[in-house]
Amino acid sequence: MHAVRIAGAGSTAFSASPERTGRDLFGEAARIAIEDSGVPRADIDRLCYGNFAGTVTERQGHQGPLMAEAAGVTAPATRYESACASGGVALRSGVEAVRSGAVDVVLVGGMERMHNVTTERATEGLAMAADDLYESRAGVTFPGAYALMARAYFEEFGGTRADLAAVAVKNHRNALGNENAQFQREISTTDVLEAPTVADPLGLYDACPITDGASACVLVSEEYAENHDLNASVSVTGSGQGTDSLALQNRESLTRTPATERAAMVAYDDAGVAPADVDLLEVHDCFTIAEVLALEGLGLYDPGDAIDAATSGETTRDGDLPVNLSGGLKAKGHPVGATGVSQVVELTKLLRGDHVNSSAVPDASVAVAHNAGGTVASATVHVLEVRS
């Protein structure tokens, strides 16, 4: 099996960019990643591209060749869709392609553009990640679904809205100075608790924003990196994917995420690491409760124990286990199809030492990216390690 190195990583700014097209956004992210890698475009063997709602928001299917053209490559290109985990699934496919020896260089990326349509239309597109028959038609929205999960968690394990607020405050603070983050401003616990309620117990600041943006990275085989003298010190050493029932009503528990648990188990075993080896993470915090559930699903906390991880400072910038140093989906933003790739872009920079928050983790060598789709009906987990 061939080792996989990350030779280049790049993202656009995450923002509201209704004036830009999806191909424009992805072309920029791809250019940054390719230039960062030092790999000639002609050497790229494959494009694995994540996008979820483009057929609704841009009326554009068949995006693979379109984005290959935008990136300036002629390699075979495929679009991957797994709701908010689309980017993570595209990344996993790219990793598997290099590992198998089928290719030496893969451009992996993702993009979403949703501010060019009304909020109602964007919400309609996002709702397609839920069970249409049993959830969407009954009026269940994702804020409502995650509110149900939060209420179930509070009932089973305890916790308060202030504990969830600490997650939002932490991630907004982490986004300060991240030039690509959508929200580069600090918020207080009071701001979170006094914000309008979206779906009790979740308020406005418990939710991530609608975002336009793109991310990309260049994966290469270790042999290619050595033969071309590339500076590719970060490797993808573990990759896992998990699935769960689409509708909440079909799950045994609303307080556990088996898709994450399964993906993590595979990824850790693949990399030969344990949860205790992890130095930092980027997890899928589409809502504040989602970060709590992710940390438990990843085996970093026992069920019921992650609710006060941010409150106690354990997952803050200066804590023992920094989580979402990029700002997370909460503050960095959530361009759906790009999110799973953007997490790896951020972690790569953090591990290389060229991220604005790298000083918080100077000795980090093992990182985890967790990307989830819907109410975690899909999940990918990737382990990144610094290798000489």
Q: With contact defined as beta carbons under 8 Å apart, do 321 and 329 qualify?
A: no
Residue with tokens 């990344």: 91
Is residue 84 annotated as part of the catalytic site, yes or no? yes
**Helix count and strand count (H, E) for the chain:** 13, 11
Helices 63-71 & 22-37 angle (0-180, nearest 10): 50
Is residue 115 annotated as part of the catalytic site, yes or no? no
Alpha-carbon span 86 to 134, nearest angstrom: 23
| Token duo for residue 317 | 């910038």
Nearest to 275 by CA among 241, 301, 303: 301
Spatial CB neighbours of 381, under 8 Å, sequence gap ≥ 6 = 238, 239, 240, 241, 242, 260, 263, 264, 266, 267, 298, 368, 369, 370, 371
From the list 172, 284, 334, 370, the catalytic residue is: 334
| Token duo for residue 16 | 């509201």
Which residue type does 91 have? L
Q: Is omega for the bond preceding 209 within 30 degrees of 0, making it cis?
A: no
Which residues does the annotation mark as catalytic? Answer: 84, 334
